Chains A and B, each alone.
Chain A
Amino acid sequence: MESSSGRAEEGGGLTREEEAILDRQIRVWGVDTQCAIRNAKVAVIVLSSEPNLSFLGTTKEEIHRNLVDMNPRMAVKVLVSSASESVGSGANALDSGHRGHVTAAEVVKNLTLAGVGHLEVVFGPASSLDLAAVVSKHDVAVVFGKSVVGINRVAESLISGGLATTVFSSSVRGGCGYAFLRRPNDPAFSKSTTLAAALGSLGLGQIHRPRKVNKMYFLLRVVYAHEKSGGGGHEKGPSLAEKDAILSLAHGEIPEENLRPPEELVMNYLETEEEMPAVSAIIGGSLAQEVIKAISGKGELMNNFYFFSAYGSKDSGEAKVEKLALAE
């Protein structure tokens, strides 16, 4: 599914219609940023065999139609990997009580409204997604998934394959969500700190971290260790049934009791793989804004973790940016 029905040509100023529609945001970030957004190529990759983009549609045709409808000037592709081509019921997002990939939908919606010129939305399981075959070169890529291991694998493939120089990885489960930014060519970012490395390829003592780190970080370390040891599904990550194993692992992984994630936070993470829409709105809004910062070069980019949990620990409710890096 591909379209370039609107004008998305490089260079040049804004048209009169673009000025009229985008007036309120041009007043926020200026014409130069708006042109940069218009010329940017962004990929949103959802590690799922189900092309359900929540309120934006539940089939690739519907998603494509809605995005073109929202921004006819955007060149948009919606791709579903061949292994999952037939999936997608066309049913309403909430018909089965399943809300779909809400955070990805939030980011796609926000970037479409912002006026991104080229957008590719790709669905496919991490295990079988041939990125080089489906994704062209982009300025920024955003990867969504439920499994930390799966997200990391795809993010690193994008970077090593030269398909994107700025890659955000993100996930929301229940009321817990995070995003991680890889930008290896930017001197402000660690070259070697991958999502996996930050979460546990090395011991906790080898990670440079702020004195008080959000409890979500330690939760993700434990979840990553659990996944590496064979826990969790390929795509869905661990379930509530794996709670005891994860809590037990927390003791081994994080010796300091004061750093271990509270049990309630662990429960909230494991309770459901469904995304809490309010949390998706917060993380999706923040993440889209970070993408715009990356495109425009304006503003202070998140470096390198962003955590948000709606409840479950004392630091819940804070949208916290933390730098967790390996020594170079």
Chain B
Amino acid sequence: MVGTSAEGARRACRESKVLAVGAGGIGCELLKTLVLSGFEDITLIDMDTIEISNLNRQFLFRKKHVGQSKAEMAREAALKIAPNAKINAFHGNVKGEKFDVDFFKSFDVVLNGLDNLDARRHVNRMTLAAGVPLVESGTAGYNGQVTVHRKGETECFECQPKPVPKQYPVCTIRNTPDKPIHCIVWSKDLLFPGLFGEPTQASQENGAGEENGAGGEEKDLEISTRQPGQSARDYGATVLGEVYHDAIARLASLEDMWKERDPPKPLDSSLITAGLGKVAKASSAGGPRGAAGESASHVLGLTNSHAVWTVEESVAVFVLTIEILLEHHAAKIGMLGFDKDFDLSVDFVAAASNLRSFCYGIPQQSKFDVKGLAGNIIHAIATTNAIISGLIVLEAQKVLLKQFSDVMTTFVQHNPTRGRLLQRIPPQKPNPKCYVCSKAMVRLEIDVKKMTLGQLVDEVLCKSLAFKHPTVLVGPTMHFESGNDLEDDEVLHYGKQRKKILADLPGGPIAHNALVQVEDYSQDMSVEILVQHKVFEDEGSAEFFAVHGEVKGREEGEEGGGDEEGGDSDDDDLCVVVAEGEGAKRNDAEEGEGERESKKQKTLM
């Protein structure tokens, strides 16, 4: 920064009003660096509460704060450092109605320390709409990055494709897994909710509860309900036999399916007996079986979470987890979902996935690794977050001093490359193909004779294109509106509209070559979508539409390690089971990307 002094930078901080979004790993470090740097008017938003696993890096929090609001506790701690600072803390979702465009306009700069793509895209749109510069950041393990986005001058956050959650076809998950992750997803998204919770959309449509399908595929899991008077342990053993012996044997008997691969092998009864023996032994030893916070693995003495259990041990954990859940968490049965911080659910998914892996000849995993994969745990350390917080503040100071020519995108790395621990490149110009900041037209390939308006809204507009409250128009015909200000009769009307097939919509069907106008007043967004009819042949695929434009990119793990693709996050969903005929196809991200220098750098989200 030419002509900058420490005092000049400090004065700029003192006189500015900043919004910090996120009070987690990056957010705690950022808030500390902001108040030390002299920022006196700070607004902080975070919807999360503090968890025990945050304490290795979110230094403003202590064990006694677990369960409390991150935003409020961070404010309290920061005021101890700088009592004269004005810090407004909001415990809420940045997508909430009160954080509208006018709210964003009231700040000189917005600083992102977020952990999920959806919120990042929303803040990107709000800052574009408000004309406020955005300093965006992300970390994963040793790596991190800071980027400055200014409307019309630099690329926006969505100008480049971003990694999105990996999705797996249900047929692979349900019938032909060949990787540990396939078995983990099956256990987490199909078996666990099938037994203990509300089945996911995927499991409802494709998993437990349906009759066997014809055509050579195993369509369901036949799981008995617990009989009156049946002990929880006996029920667990029954489920075990049905899932790992009966269902596997039935599947293995479908010869057409196994012409090019080995069929799975049902779990041998001797292994089941040996596993049940371990449960009986633990019980007779008088251990703290089923105490409220006790997990099955610990009752069984399996305290090393990095060890891979034997098959007998997995059998024991599987049965004992069911027993403890049914006996001690009965009130939650039917409502449970996988929670990486609920040890019983981790135990169950670890045991269930390893037993399935065993049947399919797939390497088994430690509980530690299963937890990481099932919970999509992003690796995170304090040092990277500290470095990133410093870089955010330096870039914010340049923006506030209007030294835009000095603004840089910076990448943090563990080991030096050509002597540099920080790699810097100038910010990129806006991408003319970006539908968000350049208003480029989006081309959408869908089967207009199969897709409903509801699917268009939910899967394409909200999930893939990140609209919050989309309005759908074809010519003068309003097909759909959403938002909190609709009248009851409008809600009813649009609820009926959602069920209609696109090509059958009255007044202006969404057919081949239809030009659809999508608007979202909450994000000040408007996009034109050219619809092209396409029949998707592969019903087993996770993709049933294609968006062309700079929307979203490669799937996680396509480039580099998947663990380097997330933000400092505890919450993003990595493992998504997509029902056949459902799900989002990535855009053709390769279009025009070759020339883009910044593509050479890995983008963290």
Contacts and interface: CB of A to CB of B under 8 A. Distances in A.
A274 B5 CA distance: 12
B534 to A, nearest CB: 41
A27 B378 CA distance: 8
A28 B141 contact: yes
Contact of B33 (A26, A278, A289): A278
Interface string A100-118: 0010001001100111000
A289 B59 CA distance: 16
A28 B421 contact: no
Interface residues of B, number: 65
B36 A54 contact: yes
Contact of B420 (A95, A267, A320): A320
Interface string A247-279: 000000000000000001001100110101111
B84 A94 contact: yes
Interface stretch (A14-22, A75-83, A124-132, A193-201): A14-22
B573 to A, nearest CB: 17
A28 B141 CA distance: 6
B9 interface: yes
Contact of A282 (B9, B83, B378, B391): B391
Given A92-B81, A280-B390, A299-B414, A70 B59 contact: yes
Nearest to B384: A285
Interface stretch (B103-111, B192-200, B302-310, B510-518): B302-310
Contacts of B141: 27-28
Contact of A317 (B368, B380, B422): B422
A289 B383 contact: yes
A94 B387 contact: no
Contacts of B7: 271-272
A23 B386 contact: no
B383 A292 contact: yes
Contacts of A189: none
B306 A31 contact: yes
A99 interface: yes
Contacts of A70: 59, 62
B424 interface: yes
Interface string A150-172: 00000000000000000000000
A322 interface: yes
A267 B6 CA distance: 10
Interface string B572-605: 0000000000000000000000000000000000
A285 B57 contact: no
A238 interface: no
Contacts of B397: 278
Contact of A285 (B1, B386, B416): B386
B56 A23 contact: yes
A282 B53 contact: no
B386 A106 contact: yes
Contacts of A306: 421
A25 B56 contact: yes
B259 interface: no
Interface in B175-196: none
Interface residues of A, number: 67
Contacts of B387: 281-282, 285-286
Contacts, number: 192
Given A20-B53, A106-B386, A284-B386, A276 B6 contact: yes
B419 interface: yes
A281 B59 CA distance: 14
Interface string B3-47: 111110100000000000000000001001101110000000000
Contacts of B570: 24
Contacts of A297: none
A164 to B, nearest CB: 21
B137 interface: no
Contacts of A25: 56-57, 379-382
A175 interface: yes
Contacts of B57: 24-25, 113
A175 B6 CA distance: 6
Chain A binding surface, main DSSP class: helix
A288 interface: yes
B408 interface: yes
Contacts of B305: 19
Given A113-B59, A278-B37, A311-B4, A93 B381 contact: no
A210 interface: yes
A279 B56 contact: no
Contacts of A36: none
Given A300-B416, A318-B424, A109 B59 contact: yes
A292 B141 CA distance: 14
A93 B419 CA distance: 35
Give the one of A22, A277, A285 with max B CB within 10 A.
A285
Contacts of B378: 24
B203 interface: no
A321 B416 contact: yes
B5 A267 contact: yes
B81 A110 contact: no
Nearest to B82: A94
Given A28-B141, A69-B62, A311-B4, A285 B81 contact: no
A326 interface: no
Interface in A6-50: 13, 16, 19-29, 31
A265 B57 CA distance: 33
B383 A288 contact: yes
Contacts of A3: none
B90 interface: no
Interface string B411-428: 000111001111010000
A283 to B, nearest CB: 8
Contacts of A92: 80-83
B274 interface: no
Interface-centre pick from A29, A106, A115, A320 (highest chain B CB count, 10 A): A106
Contacts of A320: 419-421
B41 to A, nearest CB: 15
Contact of B372 (A16, A19, A27, A113): A27
B13 to A, nearest CB: 10
B410 interface: yes
B389 interface: yes
B35 to A, nearest CB: 7
B5 A282 contact: no
B55 A21 contact: yes
Contacts of A264: 2-3
A278 B390 contact: yes
A302 interface: yes
B525 interface: no
B474 interface: no
Contacts of A302: 416, 421
Given A25-B56, A55-B81, A289-B383, 20 more contacts: A19-B305, A25-B380, A28-B142, A28-B380, A69-B62, A94-B36, A114-B56, A114-B382, A271-B7, A278-B33, A281-B32, A281-B390, A282-B394, A285-B382, A285-B386, A285-B387, A286-B383, A289-B384, A300-B415, A302-B421
Interface of B: 1-7, 9, 29, 32-33, 35-37, 52-53, 55-57, 59, 62, 80-84, 141-142, 298, 303-306, 368, 372, 377-387, 389-391, 393-394, 397, 406, 408, 410, 414-416, 419-422, 424, 563, 570
Interface of A: 13, 16, 19-29, 31, 54-55, 69-70, 92-95, 99, 102, 106, 109-110, 113-115, 174-175, 210, 264, 267-268, 271-272, 274, 276-282, 284-286, 288-289, 292, 299-300, 302, 306, 308, 310-312, 316-322
23 contacts: A19-B305, A20-B52, A23-B53, A24-B570, A25-B57, A25-B380, A27-B141, A28-B141, A92-B80, A93-B82, A94-B81, A94-B83, A114-B381, A175-B4, A272-B6, A274-B6, A277-B36, A278-B389, A282-B386, A289-B383, A292-B383, A319-B420, A321-B416
